[in-house]
């Protein structure tokens, strides 16, 4: 179901979705009020909801849509502005599953990327295709054995994407103030959004959290979020381990991406790394998790039942890099025990 007040936007999005054989466009609405009125009959699996609309905007419509169609996942269509970021982060806290940033009118070259991202997110959030009868069942993930000798990790690195803005506060809220080691987070978000999200995360977990700055020293009780449009890495320096930021090529169509952080953390800290991979589409974090465990570190992932999309954690688990696969709240407590050096 598509809800957008712009006839131009509705036109090209309708064309894109109708050309995609894996998607059925069940309803197109011109504002939030029409979306609320039509959603019960339309019964969508996914709703793409514009934020700025007359009559009823997306933020006002969102709680009504979630009440009337609790099965539907809502993707907020946002502008790449400070106001758009504030509204989008609020929508995520109200239960939207994900967001997509509209390309700016001055950068129409971004339309192809927007189309790919839109289709990928709708398919990832939609219902899973049931395997044909007689098809072999998918292999169960192989859990990696706990290292026989372990030291308390010196750093906690976390990766998240779709569903992450809600999963991160749930994961970190109960444990952030009980972990003294630095915590480094990659959440797939554009540059306009990460400062707002860092503020929101700080208020949710009750511990100082900010965007990382190039050259930041990894001091105790530090919580740093990778800024949008920058990869965040860890490096050794004369003053200790530091954060470096760069605009090298996107990884898995993302910048920031988790793999550069995980790779560099393994190189800088060796076996003193705990990696956590939360809900998200794609497989970012899979290769980096392999580097962490190859260096003697540990990796745990969120389970499928509590993930909005079990892409990233599922990829890590299927690759055999995960020591544990847990529901989000259990994962949080397991991470705390591991960071405190307790046997898990």
Strand-strand pairing, 231-237 and 240-246: antiparallel
Q: Which of 30, 78, 154, 161 is catalytic?
A: 161
**284 an active-site residue?**
yes
Q: Which of 4, 50, 57, 188 is catalytic?
A: 188
Beta-strand runs (E) in 145-303: 155-160, 183-187, 210-211, 223-225, 231-237, 240-246, 273-277, 298-302
**64 an active-site residue?**
no
Among 74, 127, 77, which residue's Cα sits nearest to residue 102? 77
Distance CA 155, CA 36 (A): 46
Q: Which of 216, 263, 284, 287 is catalytic?
A: 284
Cα 30 versus chain centre, distance: 29
Among 174, 166, 167, 120, which residue's Cα sits nearest to residue 276? 167
Residue count of the chain: 344
**161 an active-site residue?**
yes
Integer angstrom CA distances of residue 221 from 44, 59, 116, 182: 44, 35, 39, 6
Cβ–Cβ under 8 Å, residues 282 and 159: no
Q: Could you list the active site residues? A: 161, 188, 284
């Amino acid at each position: 179901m598509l809800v957008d007040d712009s006839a131009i936007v509705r036109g090209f999005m309708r064309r894109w979705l109708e050309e995609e054989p894996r998607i059925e466009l069940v309803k197109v609405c011109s504002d939030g009020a029409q979306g609320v009125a039509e959603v019960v009959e339309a019964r969508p699996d996914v709703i793409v909801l514009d934020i700025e609309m007359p009559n009823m905007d997306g933020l006002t419509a969102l709680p009504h849509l979630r009440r009337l169609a609790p099965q539907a996942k809502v993707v907020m269509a946002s502008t790449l502005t400070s106001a758009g970021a504030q509204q989008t982060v609020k929508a995520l806290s109200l239960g939207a599953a994900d967001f997509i940033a509209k390309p700016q009118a001055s950068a129409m070259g971004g339309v192809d990327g927007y189309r790919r991202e839109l289709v990928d997110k709708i398919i990832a959030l939609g219902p899973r295709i049931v395997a044909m009868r007689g098809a072999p069942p998918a292999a169960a993930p192989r859990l990696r054995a706990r290292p026989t000798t372990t030291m308390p990790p010196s750093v906690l690195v976390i990766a998240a994407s779709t569903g992450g803005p809600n999963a991160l506060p749930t994961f970190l809220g109960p444990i952030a103030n009980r972990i003294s080691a630095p915590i480094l987070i990659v959440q797939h978000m554009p540059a306009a959004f990460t400062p707002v999200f860092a503020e929101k995360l700080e208020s949710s977990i009750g511990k100082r959290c900010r965007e990382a700055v190039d050259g930041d020293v990894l001091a105790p009780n530090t919580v740093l979020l990778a800024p949008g449009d920058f990869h965040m890495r860890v490096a050794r320096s004369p003053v200790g381990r530091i954060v470096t930021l760069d605009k090298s090529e996107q990884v898995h169509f993302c910048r920031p991406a988790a793999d550069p952080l995980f790779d560099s953390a393994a190189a800088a800290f060796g076996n003193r790394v705990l990696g956590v991979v939360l809900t998200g589409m794609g497989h970012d974090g899979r290769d980096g998790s392999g580097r962490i465990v190859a260096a003697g570190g540990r990796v745990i992932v969120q389970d499928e039942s509590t993930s909005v999309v079990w892409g990233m954690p599922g990829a890590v688990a299927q690759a055999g890099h995960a020591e544990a696969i847990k529901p989000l709240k259990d994962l949080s407590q397991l991470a705390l025990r591991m960071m405190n050096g307790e046997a898990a």
